[in-house]
A and B are shown apart, each in its own frame.
Chain A
């Protein structure tokens, strides 16, 4: 029922038009693809291709020396609405792309690609790029993970956070041994320098709040193993699940808001346990010395250099290298939002997003996924509300609850329409409103089903009435049965 329409403009630069093009430029073409979700429902993805040739300005921009410069020059010439893509087809021999790469994905919403020999290869390549830059089948399936039967999803798809109107990001520095280490971190500067640009970009998706704290005497729940060879301590991968629980009790998760919390923990191991390294499943040390927990956050172990001379006085003063730490945390943040750049074919070249930490098309990626997820959430919420009403017949629906339900339905319908028109931003806003309204209706205190007296207990109260009344009825029934039996016997006697 849900149709996701991605408007894609395919621009052919001179000399790149394949010979076997079905129609003369410009023309339109629609490519549809079914993404199965479960037995009953599926999502249709639909790429609305508009083929045309370059304008003079674009030609000039494509004449740049490198792909990055071309990308920057082309940016002001594109349609920059959310969700729309522009692809420039270059001649096979173009020197704009480095040798061996066929596709270059820029910082914004455009890509450069080589024409390939025929229309068939070009279309395959176009589809691949469009999926990378908008949504893949697995991303949609992950967004609908509640409805997909278990076992069909890879663990990676369960990693990303649920869609929410806001998130709270908490950076915590754990110093279990303040007697030996005085740890200082310039978190304020680091947040401003590294985290804020990313969150500014993400502010379209949700509200973010950032804070930080330092926790002393907070220890991990696992005693690390001492490794003689490297004279260091090791945390093996299978013990990592036990690390978080004792720490979490002290994190003091949000009391004042209802948004999910993303925790990023920097752990400075105590002196008697340092250096501490995390091992992966094969026993090799993890290069970043960090791990993340799906939908929860990440932990990084920050080892303090042992003093060269043992008589150096305690406590040791440690200044945390925030660039190193934030690099890891931001990578984890991307993972938690499902923006992994790992599954990219080798002939693809992705432009690094720079200081913003996030390319425009990655933002679109998030928006597509969150819109689909929001629509799914709303329909689940409203369905369970309807189920509740079916179960309790005499429940009272107040006018404001009813109007919230109507608003949720209207918003979700408008979101679906907007999606099928390719208006990503409008669809996302509508889906957000639908979520807010449906949650407000669902969590209305008047709909608590415990407020309603269950029918079976009403019967229980009237047992003193029903039981004695049933006795004569049952007795006379028994009598009737006995008599009818006698009567049936009597005729045989008569015979």
Chain B
């Protein structure tokens, strides 16, 4: 009986085993994992690597007392369910993405930590949930997100729309905070990797080796949770967790002037196997020719396929390596994608992105100053609007009447302004503006501020380092040069599908400017102690002499033999033969 049963089992297994849809035979899976790596050479010679891991779960996280997790991480799932989160975006970034030189990023994030969350309409006390959420997240990701409080939280009205499914955009359910001082390091990466179903044991995540990732010009890791449509008819909700990680390696400096690179050079690892849980695992290499006629670069080994797409207004060509295709690992045990330049690339033809921005602090002295933002629209003939979001801490007191927006020498009136003044120690300044950028123009926005004096306990350690002002956020629908086709979001590569594209003629861009470092007048922190010391010493000296005066007993003393001087004088006198004194 047992033997027969075992045989039957084997038969069943054999029948079910080698299907085209790996592993998931028999039962229908309700969650899927897709992973992908995008390698794009940047115009300056650096290389950007963008990892995206997408876990999609066809279940409603909001309901149900009992939850059973498979690929979706339990820690985040419980968080979403317990706190009524509709959408969560957390990014931890080290370094700054130079849009001017590196081009439009697939996903940019401001330096430090950024967290923005949409809550469900059922949440009654959003501030409490927000506080609790940031505390829990700081525990999960080992980041100082617990420093998010009312002094750095704002409620933007226009800049941050839900990226997922939403049927109401009441911005009171939104909270946004940036901690520009946050330093990102290994201790943040490890918990991030732990959320991946395969950990860092298999698949693309093998490449995520901390010592290489943090030896780079830019490192940004993010977690995006949002509800999405389950299918085209959109009758049911699925939950999507996107974990993205972007690194920029500087090869020009470290690679003896050569721009050639390979996976091994970047990560000191190669890809050897796939994550058995992933239903898609692909490596994309950007091989778009810069000018039409000549192919400048060469990738090896030969890619499985070539994918052409219009990404952020540009026609791009990608060499695709499908790790799940059996032919890939047949020829060699491991995959080490290499890229060689056929001839040196002349840097004069560096393309300039349509929209980029720059920000700095002006003014001198420690009392007043000026924040200047320059926004460039390099589109030859199209004007477009951009939403600018500024959050400035309360200790920089903005003078709103000094706000000037100048384009091509003329004043540019914003069509929408939302300004929320700061309250000391309570909330920051929030300034949101919708500005029209004329074609081929530079717009200069300046606003003056005065530095406030802090209480001496409010200064952070090392206050002479300066105080950070978080990046300002630019959100725009940039008109594209080449027309885009409507593509199925489920099929297209992940790096194109986080932001919804409205129509074929424009694409959504969100840019962050540089964070600012402002010097505030800092007191001499040792002063109280110095004062205590000085006054105490003076008091003590006075006391001492007074005490001596009071307690000393004075009595007249007969000069007996005289002092040392007298004796010396007598010795000399003796020598001279003169009678002593």
A residues with a Cβ closer than 8 A to B are 170, 178-179, 182, 184, 187-188, 191, 209-214, 216-217, 249-250, 252, 254-257, 305, 307-309, 312-313, 315-317, 461-462, 464-465, 467-469, 471-473, 476
Contacts and interface: CB of A to CB of B under 8 A. Distances in A.
Interface string B494-535: 000000000000000000000000000000000001001100
A465 B16 CA distance: 88
A249 B195 CA distance: 12
Interface in B443-487: none
Given A256-B78, A312-B14, A313-B14, A211 B529 contact: no
Interface in B1-51: 6-7, 9-10, 13-14, 16-18, 23-27
A312 B11 CA distance: 9
A305 B198 contact: no
Nearest to B547: A472
Contacts of A461: 529, 532
B201 interface: yes
B232 interface: no
A473 B551 CA distance: 10
Given A255-B79, A255-B139, A256-B79, A191 B23 contact: no
B544 A211 contact: no
A211 B66 contact: yes
A191 B273 CA distance: 35
A317 B198 contact: no
B569 interface: no
Interface in B533-574: 533, 536-537, 539-541, 543-544, 547-548, 551
Contacts of A217: 198-199, 201-202
Interface in B62-80: 65-71, 73-75, 78-79
Contacts of A210: 65-66
Interface pairs A-B: 6 shortest CB-CB: A468-B540, A465-B536, A464-B536, A217-B201, A313-B17, A252-B75
B7 A308 contact: yes
A300 to B, nearest CB: 18
A178 B26 contact: no
A214 B276 CA distance: 14
Given A313-B18, A468-B537, A469-B544, A188 B66 contact: yes
A205 B23 CA distance: 43
A247 B239 CA distance: 27
B530 to A, nearest CB: 10
Nearest to A219: B201
Interface centre among B136, B529, B539, B540 (most CB of A within 10 A): B540
A216 B198 contact: yes
A405 to B, nearest CB: 25
B74 A211 contact: yes
A317 B26 contact: yes
A310 to B, nearest CB: 11
**On chain B, which size bracket covers the interface?**
35 or more
Nearest to B82: A256
B70 A252 contact: no
Given A315-B276, A472-B547, A476-B551, A255 B75 contact: yes
B79 A307 contact: no
Contact of B540 (A209, A249, A464): A464
Interface of B: 6-7, 9-10, 13-14, 16-18, 23-27, 65-71, 73-75, 78-79, 82-83, 136, 139-140, 194, 197-199, 201-202, 273, 276-277, 529, 532-533, 536-537, 539-541, 543-544, 547-548, 551
A309 B543 contact: no
Nearest to A465: B536
A256 B83 contact: yes
Contacts of A255: 75, 78-79, 136, 139-140
Nearest to B548: A472
Contacts of B17: 312-313, 317
B197 to A, nearest CB: 6
Given A256-B79, A469-B543, A308 B16 contact: no
Contacts of B68: 187-188, 191, 211-213
Interface centre among A212, A317, A471 (most CB of B within 10 A): A317
A467 B537 CA distance: 9
Nearest to A464: B536
A473 B14 CA distance: 99
Contact of B10 (A179, A312, A471): A312
Nearest to B133: A256
A255 B9 CA distance: 41
Contacts of A213: 68-70, 74
Contacts of B6: 305, 308
Contacts of B25: 317
A216 B79 contact: no
A222 B202 CA distance: 21
B66 A472 contact: no
**Is chain A's binding surface mostly helix, strand, loop or mixed?**
mixed
Given A216-B199, A317-B16, A178 B277 contact: yes
Contacts of A212: 66-69
Contacts of A476: 547, 551
B70 A307 contact: no
A214 B71 CA distance: 7
Given A184-B27, A255-B75, A312-B14, A211 B69 contact: yes
A150 to B, nearest CB: 33
Given A178-B276, A464-B540, 6 more contacts: A178-B23, A252-B75, A305-B6, A307-B10, A464-B537, A465-B539
A332 to B, nearest CB: 19
A102 B550 CA distance: 98
Nearest to A212: B68
B202 A473 contact: no
Given A191-B66, A255-B75, A462-B536, A472 B544 contact: yes
Contacts of B71: 214
Contact of B70 (A214, A464, A467, A472): A214
Contacts of B276: 178-179, 315
B526 to A, nearest CB: 13
Contacts of A252: 73-75, 194
Contacts of A464: 532-533, 536-537, 540
A256 B136 contact: yes
A217 to B, nearest CB: 4
Nearest to A315: B23
A250 B194 contact: yes
A182 B23 contact: yes
A465 B139 contact: no
B277 A216 contact: yes
Given A255-B136, A315-B23, A461-B532, A473 B547 contact: yes
A421 B547 CA distance: 73
B378 to A, nearest CB: 45
25 contacts: A170-B74, A179-B273, A191-B66, A209-B65, A210-B65, A211-B66, A214-B71, A216-B197, A216-B199, A217-B199, A252-B73, A256-B136, A305-B9, A307-B13, A312-B17, A313-B13, A317-B17, A317-B25, A464-B536, A464-B537, A465-B532, A465-B539, A465-B540, A472-B547, A476-B551
Nearest to B81: A256
A468 B13 CA distance: 91
A257 B536 CA distance: 52
A390 to B, nearest CB: 28
A307 B199 CA distance: 28
Contacts of B551: 476
A322 to B, nearest CB: 12
A333 to B, nearest CB: 16
B158 to A, nearest CB: 31
A202 B68 CA distance: 21
Contacts of A305: 6, 9
Contacts of A472: 543-544, 547-548
Nearest to A195: B66
B153 to A, nearest CB: 20
A170 B197 CA distance: 18
Contacts of B70: 213-214
